[in-house]
Structure 1
Amino acid sequence: MDINGSRLEEHIYTLAEIGKIGETGVRRLAHSKEDRQAVDLVKRWMEEAGLETRIDCFGNLIGTIEGKKKEKPNLMLGSHIDSQPYGGRFDGTAGALGAIEVIHSLKDKGITPNRTIEVVCFSDEEGSRFNKGVFGVRALIGQLEEGELERQDKNGMSRLEALKEFGVTPDVTQSPVYQPGDIEAFLELHIEQGPVLESQEKPVGIVSAISGPLWLTVTLEGFAGHAGSVPMNLRQDALVGASTIIREFNELVKNEGTLNTVGTVGSLQNFPNSRNIIPEKVEFTIDLRDIDMEARNRLETRLYEIIKSTCSELNLTYSLSEDTRSDPRYCADWIKDIMREEDEKLGYHSPTLMSGPFHDALFMSYISDYGMIFVRCEKGISHNPLEFAEMEDIQKGVELLYQTAVKIAQS
């Protein structure tokens, strides 16, 4: 291998100690003190690799190595190092530290790229803390929405306050940072977070596209009452309404979706959340994804019908807010061609597969061609402390990333 696999392994497991939970879990929420500690450590590793570093006003950590031909659009590599509240050691981290290893290996070999290369650890990819993710990359490309800095976590802290505590002062007038044409290509390596590579007994995969996520928040309101005295036929139970909608949504996706359709309710808040009070208000999230937009739109319409009819039947009121809506984005053919060519030289025989989860690359695709490399992970487990990828597989993925990056950087 051209990369230094042992250095990469050391970096991955050292970073996993920050925010460690249990034996293998990680909790590094966006803009938290653990996130800042991780950023400072990774910043040092960037500098050791020869990158000039900065932390921008949105919390993105960016490292730059200048190319010989500064007029050429840059090559950008990266991922994220924040985690879910109950996360693993490899989600995002493998790609972010793999990108740094690419630069470190270039330095080891005395190679100065023709193109300037930037490595980015994007701020708040996960979105778990403020219920709105990929914040840093959206700031870079000019896709921040009104009220982004006012969004609050479950403790009532706003993103603005959290970023200031993190050590930066956000300025939305600085967005966008990059325009179309500034970046020749964006490359991201990530664990698959699914079972396809493991089922095919392949360590690495080349991504064809990222499915489009739709995130909604549904709020149902009924009327609180004594659990012992209000007859069943007179109740306005918001939790019963939520459970009905959730069950029917699950059946809808299973029965009417495509093979690539997935739907999830991952967060639910119940008020007043007391044993002997009929639930008055329930708020829950909906995550609907597909690479087929026609299928996703059809299911979205049916979902709204389910919500409306359920609330009518149970005498509830409801409101909907749209948190994220993205179309599927397809990897650039020319980048996939380079990956396949380099993959053949390495003898990996990597399959091509799609991504159900979204990544920072999805949003970089709005200003740049992009490519992604997946690494096999055990049983497809992710967003869980049991998340695991063999270091040999990660090293192989980063080797393919290195060879692809060199080809693009020197073109």
Structure 2
Amino acid sequence: MSPPDPNSLEPSSPHELGVRAQSLLVVLGSISDDPTHLTRLYLSPSHRRAADFVGDWMRTAGLKTSMDALGTVRGSLDATSPGPNAGRRLLIGSHIDTVTNAGSYDGTAGVVIGILAVDEIRRRGIKLPFGIDVLAFGDEEGVRFPTTLLSSSAIAGTITAEMLLKSDRDGVSVRKALMDFGCDPDKIDEAAYDRDEVLGYLEVHIEQGPVLEHEKLPLGVVTSIAGQTRFKCIVLGEAGHAGTSPMGLRRDALAASAEIMGEIERFAREGREHSLVATVGQLIVSPGAVNVVPARVDFSLDVRAATDQPRLDAIAAIRTAAREIAERRHVAVMIESYHESQTTPCATHLQDGFASGIERLGLPVLRLTSGAGHDGHAVQHLTDVGMLFVRCRGGISHNPKEFAEPDDLGLAVEALVGAIEHLAGHFGGDS
């Protein structure tokens, strides 16, 4: 599917915008490193192909494009009216990497909607007292490397050279992957924005939950993004013969891990009033033979909550329980944090911008919390963050069944345009 005709400057209806968004998402949904399902990991060949398509669509929308040292595709539009903020920029972004066996809307919808919103501003001749940068990040999902949010951390200036030494399961470091991708990892400092040049960050994202569908609303304004911590967990026991090792004398790493995971689930269920969730999503058992007592288990742990203290309390309880189980079962346990994000509040004036965009569509404004993590976790260290949710079918995400109606996508483009216009008024007279 071809991007919009750059010579046509006719404004589009919400329905037309939704159809265009869907067509572009179909293209991105076809770009995968696995022929049987959508898997587009950070700095993979499919990420490179997707980045090239996004860059083309940005140029078609009238944006000047570039790629920074962490592989973020940037499309820039300069201010079109004079004023004290003409040299500053409003950032709009999301990510184009995916989980394994992914859907076609998580992250990518926000990138496409950002491009179409800027294109629509150009078509309508809307004057802006600030510039806009549309950003297509990678590494939001944190699947390939034991890292997450590297791209968005880079623009916030919080990434370090040591982070690039992390390696994937094949032993390829982030640094080597960046070089293969066509980036220069020695220029990571140049990826950072100066705090004074940025006015704020906006992101549009499918909800990844059922609230909007339940309320029969296409859009919602996010009030905060839940804090989260990710861990690499290792349990070390001793291998033994499955037939000759008595049950009471075993140092079974998998049995100990299973008990620890049971405690993780119990703590999470007890914290439901705080929207506490805990997930073990990866598991590696060694040596992995049917007739050998497991000697080592590696597993991931992801803990999130709507506010920080319940999350931290649950982590402390999990560590204590893991130590007690390890001592009783005569195994060793290590729980190492490799990513932590505090709860990210969304700035009131950016929430109001999205609310204004929704209201002018004649829709009620629903405000809700995001349980999923987003690039805003990293960008909050640079500037204020605002977020708009789009209804998704069944609240399903990280799944091939992920889906958002084209008309809802079109309304999201309109709401983003409205938010940008609202902020143009807000920042037009600032000094």
Regarding TM over 0.5, the answer is: yes
Paired position in structure 2 for 1:300: 315
User: How big is the shift at 1:257?
Assistant: 4.3
Paired position in structure 2 for 1:34: 46
Aligned mates of 1:148, 1:350 — CA distance in 2: 40
Aligned mates of 2:356, 2:58 — CA distance in 1: 28
Contact 1:125/1:360 (<8 A) preserved: yes
Summarize the Cα distance change of 1:173–1:51 in structure 2 as closer, same or farther, 3 Å threshold: closer
User: Is the aligned partner of 1:44 residue 2:56?
Assistant: yes
The one-letter code of the counterpart of 2:22 is: E
- Corresponding residue to 1:132 among 140, 147, 159: 147
- Corresponding residue to 1:209 among 219, 224, 249: 224
Paired position in structure 1 for 2:337: 322
Paired position in structure 2 for 1:4: 17
Aligned mates of 1:404, 1:21 — CA distance in 2: 37
User: How big is the shift at 1:408?
Assistant: 1.6
Paired position in structure 1 for 2:156: 141
Contact 1:117/1:409 (<8 A) preserved: no
User: Is the aligned partner of 1:81 residue 2:96?
Assistant: yes
The one-letter code of the counterpart of 2:383 is: S
The one-letter code of the counterpart of 1:155 is: D
Aligned mates of 1:70, 1:360 — CA distance in 2: 29
Aligned mates of 1:223, 1:258 — CA distance in 2: 39
User: Is the aligned partner of 1:233 residue 2:248?
Assistant: yes
The one-letter code of the counterpart of 1:31 is: L
Uncovered stretches (5+) of structure 1, i.e. residues with no partner: none
The one-letter code of the counterpart of 2:70 is: F
Map of 1:5-20 to 2, 5 A cutoff?
A: 5-19=18-32
SS for the counterpart of 1:111 is coil
User: How big is the shift at 1:303?
Assistant: 0.6
Paired position in structure 2 for 1:248: 263
The one-letter code of the counterpart of 1:224 is: A
Summarize the Cα distance change of 1:356–1:402 in structure 2 as closer, same or farther, 3 Å threshold: same
- Corresponding residue to 1:354 among 369, 373, 378: 369
Percent of matched pairs sharing the same residue: 33
Paired position in structure 1 for 2:360: 345
- Corresponding residue to 1:106 among 95, 109, 121: 121
Contact 1:258/1:295 (<8 A) preserved: no
Paired position in structure 2 for 1:401: 416
The one-letter code of the counterpart of 1:157 is: V
Contact 1:75/1:409 (<8 A) preserved: no
Deviations 1:87-114 (A, max 9, x none): 1100001100100001111221233422
Count of aligned pairs: 410
- Corresponding residue to 1:177 among 188, 192, 196: 192
User: How big is the shift at 1:258?
Assistant: 2.5
Summarize the Cα distance change of 1:20–1:374 in structure 2 as closer, same or farther, 3 Å threshold: farther
SS for the counterpart of 1:247 is helix
The one-letter code of the counterpart of 1:375 is: V
User: How big is the shift at 1:259?
Assistant: 4.1
Contact 2:69/2:191 (<8 A) preserved: no
Paired position in structure 2 for 1:63: 75
Contact 1:163/1:169 (<8 A) preserved: yes
Deviations 1:15-52 (A, max 9, x none): 212118678x5211110111000100110110011100
- Corresponding residue to 2:391 among 368, 371, 376: 376
User: How big is the shift at 1:176?
Assistant: 5.9
User: Is the aligned partner of 1:194 residue 2:206?
Assistant: no
Contact 2:67/2:73 (<8 A) preserved: yes
Aligned mates of 1:226, 1:280 — CA distance in 2: 11
Contact 2:50/2:96 (<8 A) preserved: yes
Aligned mates of 2:46, 2:78 — CA distance in 1: 30
TM-score (norm 2): 0.91
Summarize the Cα distance change of 1:283–1:129 in structure 2 as closer, same or farther, 3 Å threshold: same
The one-letter code of the counterpart of 2:372 is: P
User: How big is the shift at 1:147?
Assistant: 2.8
User: How big is the shift at 1:354?
Assistant: 0.3
User: How big is the shift at 1:342?
Assistant: 2.8
Contact 1:181/1:367 (<8 A) preserved: no
